A = this chain, B = another copy of it.
């Protein structure tokens, strides 16, 4: 655990709250409410919009773009590309969440197409999803990872190099790699896995932090530390998954930069 890194995490959180970046989400129906709330609670501003007619304009006022393929359809893929190209032209970060990659060809091929044709700042998935995108094994059942990949750190590093992106694999220990830099984040709690959408929420956290910090690998690590540490605190009084989620959202809102600097568990590899 590196004190400077943890301090840095707190400083990025502070910046999110000062700048209130706008996060344009094209995301799935299941998590829209939760991810909009996470956006607000961490200090950023959310907008959920998918109509082709307003994509350029909406992304045009945003500070980061989230592309989440959880409840995909052809029309939405089109909108993702319009928004993505606009984001690239503005040099704002795109965070891609390949929900369920590996479960169907549509999800796997859409993930790869978005990665190939757009400059993706951060790719965030669970072991199964990243394994599927990398062709490295792992297994998803629906949208849940049910089998890990063999050497996740190497997979993250080589996938990051291949697509010039930052790869984030969330799990018991989160792995973040730009290909050059690699970080581990040991915050988190197993209650997270009992709720739907907790992966998608972590993607939103990454977007908020990357909107105000250009070192996307470190910004992602800081975001995951903030989210995971909030989960640790929330777990203390949880009676079940639903009361845990309420506490998680409350805690995110109440998390101070100095508190985060103390509780973060970020390591440079």
Q: A28 contacts which of B41, B48, B71, B251 (Cβ < 8 Å)?
A: B48
Most buried by B among A46, A74, A196, A252: A196
Q: Which residue of B lies closest to A71 (CB)?
A: B48
Q: Is A153 an interface residue (CB 8 A)?
A: no
Which residues of the partner chain B approach A245 to less than 8 Å between Cβ atoms?
Answer: 242
Q: Is A45 an interface residue (CB 8 A)?
A: yes
In whole angstroms, how far apart are the Cα atoms of A250 and B239 in the complex? 7
Which residues of the partner chain B approach A28 to less than 8 Å between Cβ atoms?
Answer: 48
Q: Is A246 an interface residue (CB 8 A)?
A: yes
Q: Are B54 and A196 in contact (CB under 8 A)?
A: no
Q: Are B47 and A72 in contact (CB under 8 A)?
A: no
Which residues of the partner chain B approach A89 to less than 8 Å between Cβ atoms?
Answer: none
Q: Which residue of B lies closest to A33 (CB)?
A: B30
Q: Are A141 and B61 in contact (CB under 8 A)?
A: yes
Which residues of the partner chain B approach A24 to less than 8 Å between Cβ atoms?
Answer: 142
Which residues of the partner chain B approach A194 to less than 8 Å between Cβ atoms?
Answer: 40-41, 253
Which of A101-109, A159-167, A172-180 is near enough to bind chain B?
A: A101-109
* Shortest distance between the CB of A25 and any CB in chain B (Å): 9
* Shortest distance between the CB of A172 and any CB in chain B (Å): 18
Q: Is A131 an interface residue (CB 8 A)?
A: no
**Interface digits, A41-82 against B, CB 8 Å rule (1 contact, 0 not)?**
100011111110110011001100000001111100000000
Q: Are B61 and A103 in contact (CB under 8 A)?
A: yes
Q: Are A33 and B36 in contact (CB under 8 A)?
A: no
Q: Is A96 an interface residue (CB 8 A)?
A: no
Q: Is A254 an interface residue (CB 8 A)?
A: yes
Q: Are B33 and A31 in contact (CB under 8 A)?
A: yes
* Shortest distance between the CB of A246 and any CB in chain B (Å): 4
Q: Which residue of B lies closest to A56 (CB)?
A: B104
Q: A243 contacts which of B34, B103, B107, B246 (Cβ < 8 Å)?
A: B246
Q: Is A8 an interface residue (CB 8 A)?
A: no
Which residues of the partner chain B approach A47 to less than 8 Å between Cβ atoms?
Answer: 100, 103, 142-143
Query: Could you list 23 A-B pairs, sorted by A, with CB under 8 Å?
Result: A20-B141, A30-B36, A33-B34, A37-B195, A40-B195, A41-B194, A41-B240, A41-B241, A45-B141, A46-B142, A47-B100, A48-B70, A49-B100, A50-B73, A54-B105, A57-B103, A57-B106, A58-B103, A240-B250, A242-B246, A242-B248, A242-B249, A243-B247
